[in-house]
Amino acid sequence: MQTVVVLMALSLGDAFLERELPAGAVRVSPDPTVKRHRDRQLAEQVERILGTGRDAIVDAPSQSSRRAVLLVAADRGARVVGYWARPPKIGMPWILELQPEYSQLTRRPRRADGFDLLYEVVNPDGEYHLREL
């Protein structure tokens, strides 16, 4: 079964990325230069990746981008694993000026949103641990 990993965090440390993400998966992020149809473009990228038989890793800071990706994964019968890290209060204003959709990371996702597995990454930049949500 193919897997779509949905990352919902400002940043995740190298240790996390190396240990938790599927080897050989293709990582995609929303294009910051595209304003219209960004979610559709992200979903189309995931669809193409799954069509090649590979797993996908998606940076999805906004709820609308997550919904678009979750719909594609469900249509393809892919398992969806989500990793969410609570954003730090320090640094958020700077990020929000550049990409306002990151403000949506303060809302904790729910498994009912369409995730097969959902984890909170605690201390994502250091010696992290996972808490199932």
Q: What is the mean pLDDT of each run of 10 residues along the chain (133 residues)?
A: 92 83 91 80 96 95 90 97 82 57 75 96 82 95
Rounded CA-CA distance 70/78 in Å is 9
pLDDT for the residue numbered 96: 57
pLDDT for the residue numbered 118: 97
pLDDT for the residue numbered 97: 59
Rounded CA-CA distance 16/18 in Å is 6
Find the radius of gyration of the CA atoms of the chain.
Answer: 14
Give the angle 109-120-79 at the CA atoms, nearest 5°: 70
Q: For CA atoms 19, 23, 25, 30, give the dihedral sign.
A: positive
Contact 85, 51 (CB under 8 A): no
Number of neighbours of residue 133 by Cβ within 10 angstroms? 14
pLDDT for the residue numbered 87: 75
List the domain boundaries for the chain: 3-132
Instruction: Specify the fold of 3-132.
Output: Rossmann fold (3.40.50)
pLDDT for the residue numbered 71: 96
